[in-house]
Amino acid sequence: MSGGAEGSLAASFRRLIAATGPISLAHYMAEANARYYGSRDPFGTAGDFITAPEISQMFGELVGLWLADMWHRAGQNAGQSGPVHYVELGPGRATLARDALRAMGHAGLRPQVHLVEGSPALREIQREAVPQAHWHHDLSSLPTDGPILLVANEFLDALPVRQLVKTAQGWRERMVAVDESGGFVCIAGSTPMDAAVPEDRREAEEGTLIETCPAAAAVVQEVAGRLAAQGGAALFIDYGHAQPRTGSTLQAVRAHRKVDPFADPGEADLTTHVDFATLAPLAQAQGARWLGTTGQGPWLTALGIDARTDALSRAAPHLAGEVAAARHRLVSEEEMGDLFKVMGLAAPGWPQGAGF
């Protein structure tokens, strides 16, 4: 196991578990992803995975046009209070930011740029793409003086989840322990966790596993509260489900392959499905308007990805095949079109969003 090397995260987890006992899965996932993203550029064919903005410029352009359309249609209300801010959570290589800002510029909107990014390695890459940006470690330091136009693509899926399992003794948290051969294994913790299970889900058969993501809930609540107070609109785009479900969705991807999430912590991208069904009411409770949650395919189609595909193909006929393939990947049901969802939020009084 390469993760056994001195200085590896696996080695420090083993020492920690030996000293203080099993750690929560959320702790494991948070540290593994902080190490993973902090030390590399994971995107693209040479990296571990490819995201929608890296597949085609059309994705970021349509996101930018959606935000600009919201801004223009919000009209007077939007302009009343200070500068408008483009905010992106977990911008990766800032490809989406660059494409969205270019499209917004064509639509007559030049917002200030705020990127929330935890990884020093990715911040360096973002600085090349969007030199005018301001960086933030988390949402707390984002400006409060004007409306925000926010996007988060594949951000919530990287936040740590808590897994709760129903045992004969009640609900317990899934913890990470070390077995005799030094490998990481999941066990049920000893602390009763019934209070952490949503009330309507407590009565479940023994063996039932549910995931909750307190970190994603906190992000959506913070964004929704800011929309209500400052004005603006937000898009959360991620793979996930629109209805509550049971079972583990934790997965690890390395070099475009699924690998064991417990084999080499910090060396693969750990993600889970985003539970959009839970997030929408949390946003509404903060006073934001929920515009809808829909598939990425129908959303991009409603925004005109077909016309954009044709235009790009006419402008560069030698790339027509590539552009058509990218469109298919983003939109078709067998690829990203159905699994990936788009959740739209806005300030009360802001218009209904296109595509919902």
Binding interface with ligand SAH (CB under 6 A): 33, 37, 43, 51, 53-54, 90-92, 96, 116-119, 122, 153-155, 158-159
Q: Smallest distance from the beta carbon of 116 to ligand SAH, in angstroms?
A: 6
Pick 122 or 268: Cβ nearer ligand SAH = 122
HSE (side-chain half, CA atoms, 13 Å) at 164: 24
Q: Smallest distance from the beta carbon of 219 to ligand SAH, in angstroms?
A: 9
Q: Smallest distance from the beta carbon of 302 to ligand SAH, in angstroms?
A: 20
Q: Provide the terminal-to-terminal Cα distance of the chain, rounded to the nearest Å.
A: 47
CA distance 167 to 145: 49
Q: Smallest distance from the beta carbon of 158 to ligand SAH, in angstroms?
A: 4
Pick 129 or 227: Cβ nearer ligand SAH = 129
Pick 54 or 264: Cβ nearer ligand SAH = 54
Q: Smallest distance from the beta carbon of 206 to ligand SAH, in angstroms?
A: 33
Q: Smallest distance from the beta carbon of 118 to ligand SAH, in angstroms?
A: 3
Residue 218 amino acid letter: A
Residue 136: name the closest of 86, 82, 98, 96 by CA: 86
CA distance 1 to 11: 11
Pick 65 or 116: Cβ nearer ligand SAH = 116
Residue 111: name the closest of 122, 103, 119 by CA: 103
Q: Smallest distance from the beta carbon of 65 to ligand SAH, in angstroms?
A: 17
Pick 119 or 286: Cβ nearer ligand SAH = 119
Q: Tokens representing 99?
A: 């494409």
Coil, helix or strand at residue 185: strand
Pick 153 or 272: Cβ nearer ligand SAH = 153
Pick 197 or 330: Cβ nearer ligand SAH = 330
Q: Smallest distance from the beta carbon of 43 to ligand SAH, in angstroms?
A: 6
Q: Which residues pair with 208 in a beta bridge?
A: none
Nearest residue to ligand SAH on Cβ basis:
90
Burial of 49 (0-12, 13-18, 19+ CB in 10 A): middle
Q: Tokens representing 234?
A: 């937000």
Q: Smallest distance from the beta carbon of 177 to ligand SAH, in angstroms?
A: 24
Pick 91 or 147: Cβ nearer ligand SAH = 91
Pick 33 or 212: Cβ nearer ligand SAH = 33
126 neighbors 133 (Cβ within 8 angstroms): yes
Give the number of other Cβ atoms within 10 Å of residue 103's Cβ.
21
| Gyration radius of the chain's alpha carbons | 21
Q: Tokens representing 193?
A: 């966790």
Residue 6 amino acid letter: E
Q: Which residues contact 340 (CB under 8 A, 6 or more apart)?
A: 52, 237, 238, 239, 240, 295, 296
Longest dimension (CA), the chain: 66
